[in-house]
Amino acid sequence: MGEVIPKSMINGKVVIWTYVEQLQSSVEWYSYILEMEPTERHDAAYFFTINEHTKLALCNRYMRNPKYELPVNDCLDLQADDIFETHRQLEAKGVLVGPIDNPFPTYYEFYFVDTENNKIRIHGFE
């Protein structure tokens, strides 16, 4: 009987967030420069699929979650299939995680920091 490999709490999907002032013109510029069209739109963000695990998100600057002092143009953002279970597992490991926020109807997120105080966002969709 083979070894059972536990399922990771992070699903391997990464989103690179870029916050912009003029969303529509930025979408046009990135579409032209990257020679690709957005593959998804959720609320005030457009997503360009780089590969099966990586996306670039363009989001209106005003849509940033104001509770957190994140860099304006970049954020390590990991996606979880079950954000609530991921939050619980990180807490169980002693990680100081922030509360789960629901800034958009189907979108949830929370933050924590690494050993050098870099903030990391985990997000998921309902």
- In the CATH scheme, what is the code of domain 14-125? 3.10.180.10
pLDDT at 116 (0 to 100):
60
What's the pTM? 0.57
User: How many helices, marked H, and strands, marked E, lie in the chain?
Assistant: 2, 8
Q: Is the pLDDT at 31 greater than 80, yes or no?
A: yes
Q: Pull the structure tokens for residue 54.
A: 């990586």
Q: Is the pLDDT of residue 27 over 60?
A: yes
Taking the CB of residue 53, how many other CB atoms lie within 10 A of it? 12
The answer to whether residue 113 scores a pLDDT higher than 90 is no
Pairing of strands 45-51, 54-60: antiparallel
Beta strand pairing status for 14-20 and 54-60?
Answer: parallel
Task: Tokens 């020679």: give the residue.
Answer: 35
Euclidean distance between CA atoms 115 and 103, whole angstroms: 27
